[in-house]
């Protein structure tokens, strides 16, 4: 009944997380159960508890992977000509969300039980993401202090997050015909000081 090193422990953990990712992609939080993950990698439910403290732990680690993937996409959009960076970042963000809405939703739909805190490695991951964007947008806010720039970036990030969650949960289409992506552009342009939501900073 018991085997050994079919896969190394690290390998097995990776397999479990990949299985969880597929389930989350297809069915979201509601379909993501310990038994389903175990079944998908051909192990017994109990084995999952050798790899993770519990289901919450597994989900938090999966969310870590998702943050990494998002960082890659935003990183690719953060270079190039500063003038068009905001637009490209917004596009990259919504491309990511719309290409895997259920996986992205898991980032925020999942909440740890009362009193439990996110693990220590979570904060730098998130901070890196924001930092990346803040740095990319620095040339576009030359008149503002570093604190003001950072606050503006966090606000934009939270704003995009808000637009996306409402869009994904179908609560945005209840009140707006405008594409979420377009609202994103509007938000970012305004936050950066433009008057319209149609294009890059005018010269």
Partner DNA sequence: GCTTTAATTGAACAATGTTCAATTTATATC
Partner DNA sequence: GATATAAATTGAACATTGTTCAATTAAAGC
Q: At closest approach, how far in Å is the CB of 15 from its own copies? A: 26
Q: Is residue 36 part of the contact set for DNA (CB under 7 A)?
A: yes
Residue in this structure with the two tokens 């192990």, named with its chain if needed: 43
Q: At closest approach, how far in Å is the CB of 15 from DNA? A: 10
Q: At closest approach, how far in Å is the CB of 187 from its own copies? A: 5
**DSSP secondary structure letter of residue 81:** -
Q: Output the six-digit token pair for 50.
A: 């050798």
Residue in this structure with the two tokens 């809405």, named with its chain if needed: 101
Choice between 7 and 122, CB closer to its own copies: 122
Out of 53, 72, 127, 146, name the contact with its own copies by CB under 8 A: 127
Q: Is residue 195 part of the contact set for its own copies (CB under 8 A)?
A: yes
Instruction: Specify whether the CB–CB gap between 86 and 200 falls below 8 A.
Output: yes
Residue 2 burial (CB < 10 Å; 0-12/13-18/19+)? exposed
User: With CB under 7 A as the contact rule, which of the stretches 47-55, 124-132, 141-149, 175-183 interacts with DNA?
Assistant: 47-55
User: With CB under 7 A as the contact rule, which of the stretches 16-24, 51-59, 66-74, 143-151 interacts with DNA?
Assistant: 51-59
Q: Is residue 162 part of the contact set for its own copies (CB under 8 A)?
A: yes
Residue 5 burial (CB < 10 Å; 0-12/13-18/19+)? exposed
Q: Is residue 71 part of the contact set for its own copies (CB under 8 A)?
A: no
Q: At closest approach, how far in Å is the CB of 54 from DNA? A: 3
Q: Which of 24, 31, 173, 158 lies closest to 101 in space, CA to CA?
A: 24
Q: At closest approach, how far in Å is the CB of 188 from its own copies? A: 10
Q: At closest approach, how far in Å is the CB of 152 from its own copies? A: 7
Q: List b or e across 35-62, with b for residues whose CB sees 16 or more CB atoms inside 10 angstroms.
A: eebbeebebeeebbeebbeebebbbbbb
How many residues bind DNA, per CB under 7 A?
25
The continuous run of DSSP H or E covering 154 comes out as: helix 146-168
From DNA, its own copies, none, interface partner of 90 (C-beta below 5 to 8 A by class): none
User: With CB under 8 A as the contact rule, which of the stretches 5-13, 83-91, 93-101, 125-133 interacts with its own copies?
Assistant: 125-133
Q: Is residue 155 part of the contact set for its own copies (CB under 8 A)?
A: yes
**If DSSP codes are grouped into helix, strand and coil, which group holds residue 88?**
helix
């Amino acid at each position: 009944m018991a085997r050994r090193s079919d896969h190394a422990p690290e390998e097995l953990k990776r397999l479990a997380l990949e299985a969880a990712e597929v389930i989350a992609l297809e069915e979201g939080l509601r379909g993501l159960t310990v038994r389903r993950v175990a079944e998908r990698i051909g192990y017994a439910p109990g084995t999952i508890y050798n790899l993770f403290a519990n289901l919450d732990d597994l989900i938090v680690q999966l969310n870590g992977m998702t943050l990494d993937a998002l960082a890659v996409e935003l990183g690719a959009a953060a270079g190039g000509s500063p003038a068009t960076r905001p637009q490209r970042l917004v596009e990259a963000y919504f491309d990511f969300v719309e290409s895997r809405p259920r996986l992205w939703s898991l980032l925020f739909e999942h909440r740890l039980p009362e009193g439990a805190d996110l693990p220590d490695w979570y904060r730098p991951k998130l901070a890196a993401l924001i930092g990346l964007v803040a740095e990319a947008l620095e040339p576009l806010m030359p008149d503002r202090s570093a604190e003001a720039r950072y606050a503006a970036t966090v606000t934009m990030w939270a704003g995009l997050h808000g637009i996306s969650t409402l869009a994904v949960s179908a609560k945005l289409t209840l009140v707006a015909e405008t594409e979420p992506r377009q609202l994103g552009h509007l938000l970012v342009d305004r936050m950066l000081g433009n008057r319209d939501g149609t294009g890059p900073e005018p010269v």
